[in-house]
Amino acid sequence: MPSTPTPDQIASSPPAAMTIPEFCRWARLGRTAVYREIKSGRLVLRKAGAKSLILVADAERWLGALPTASAA
Protein backbone atom coordinates (compact mmCIF):
# COMPACT_ATOMS: atom_id res chain seq x y z
CA MET A 1 0.00 0.00 0.00
CA PRO A 2 1.47 3.42 -0.98
CA SER A 3 2.31 5.73 1.89
CA THR A 4 0.62 9.10 2.24
CA PRO A 5 3.03 12.02 1.76
CA THR A 6 3.79 14.10 4.83
CA PRO A 7 3.04 17.86 4.86
CA ASP A 8 6.79 18.54 4.59
CA GLN A 9 7.04 16.36 1.47
CA ILE A 10 4.07 18.14 -0.11
CA ALA A 11 5.47 21.60 0.70
CA SER A 12 8.88 20.77 -0.79
CA SER A 13 7.56 19.16 -3.98
CA PRO A 14 7.28 21.32 -7.12
CA PRO A 15 3.82 22.76 -7.80
CA ALA A 16 1.56 20.95 -10.26
CA ALA A 17 -0.29 24.10 -11.29
CA MET A 18 0.08 27.88 -11.45
CA THR A 19 -2.36 30.73 -11.04
CA ILE A 20 -2.60 33.30 -13.85
CA PRO A 21 -0.24 35.77 -12.08
CA GLU A 22 2.26 32.95 -11.41
CA PHE A 23 2.10 31.86 -15.05
CA CYS A 24 2.62 35.46 -16.20
CA ARG A 25 5.82 35.65 -14.14
CA TRP A 26 6.93 32.17 -15.27
CA ALA A 27 6.34 32.88 -18.98
CA ARG A 28 7.39 36.55 -18.79
CA LEU A 29 4.09 37.57 -20.43
CA GLY A 30 1.40 40.07 -19.55
CA ARG A 31 -2.15 39.07 -18.63
CA THR A 32 -3.54 40.19 -22.00
CA ALA A 33 -1.13 37.95 -23.90
CA VAL A 34 -1.90 35.02 -21.58
CA TYR A 35 -5.64 35.40 -22.03
CA ARG A 36 -5.10 35.68 -25.82
CA GLU A 37 -3.25 32.33 -25.74
CA ILE A 38 -6.08 30.78 -23.68
CA LYS A 39 -8.79 32.15 -26.01
CA SER A 40 -6.95 30.81 -29.06
CA GLY A 41 -6.83 27.33 -27.51
CA ARG A 42 -3.03 27.18 -27.46
CA LEU A 43 -2.97 27.30 -23.64
CA VAL A 44 -5.35 25.30 -21.44
CA LEU A 45 -7.01 26.96 -18.45
CA ARG A 46 -8.44 24.75 -15.69
CA LYS A 47 -10.95 25.77 -13.04
CA ALA A 48 -11.05 24.67 -9.40
CA GLY A 49 -14.15 26.42 -8.16
CA ALA A 50 -13.49 30.12 -8.75
CA LYS A 51 -9.71 29.66 -9.06
CA SER A 52 -8.16 29.61 -12.53
CA LEU A 53 -5.15 27.32 -12.89
CA ILE A 54 -2.69 26.33 -15.58
CA LEU A 55 -1.10 22.94 -15.11
CA VAL A 56 2.71 22.99 -15.23
CA ALA A 57 2.57 20.20 -17.83
CA ASP A 58 0.27 22.31 -20.03
CA ALA A 59 2.52 25.36 -19.58
CA GLU A 60 5.61 23.39 -20.61
CA ARG A 61 3.75 21.91 -23.61
CA TRP A 62 2.66 25.42 -24.65
CA LEU A 63 6.23 26.72 -24.34
CA GLY A 64 7.61 23.83 -26.39
CA ALA A 65 5.06 24.47 -29.16
CA LEU A 66 6.05 28.11 -29.65
CA PRO A 67 7.61 28.78 -33.06
CA THR A 68 11.34 29.23 -33.30
CA ALA A 69 12.73 32.60 -34.34
CA SER A 70 14.66 32.89 -37.55
CA ALA A 71 18.10 34.46 -37.41
CA ALA A 72 17.81 37.67 -39.38
CATH of the domain at 51: 1.10.10
CA distance 27 to 42: 14
9 part of a folded domain: no
Asked if residue 6 belongs to a domain, the reply is: no
- The answer to whether the Cα torsion of 25, 31, 36, 38 is positive or negative is positive
Domain for residue 38, yes or no?
yes
pLDDT at 11: 66
Q: Is residue 69 part of a domain?
A: no
Domain range for 45 is: 15-62
The total domain count for the chain is 1
User: What is the helix, strand, coil percentage profile of the chain, to 5?
Assistant: 45, 15, 40
In a domain, 1, yes or no: no
| Residue pair 53/18 in contact by the 8 Å Cβ criterion | yes
What local confidence, expressed as pLDDT, does residue 39 receive? 98
Each of the 72 residues of the chain gets a pLDDT tens digit; together they read: 667 767 776 666 788 999 999 999 999 999 999 999 999 999 999 999 999 999 999 999 999 999 999 876
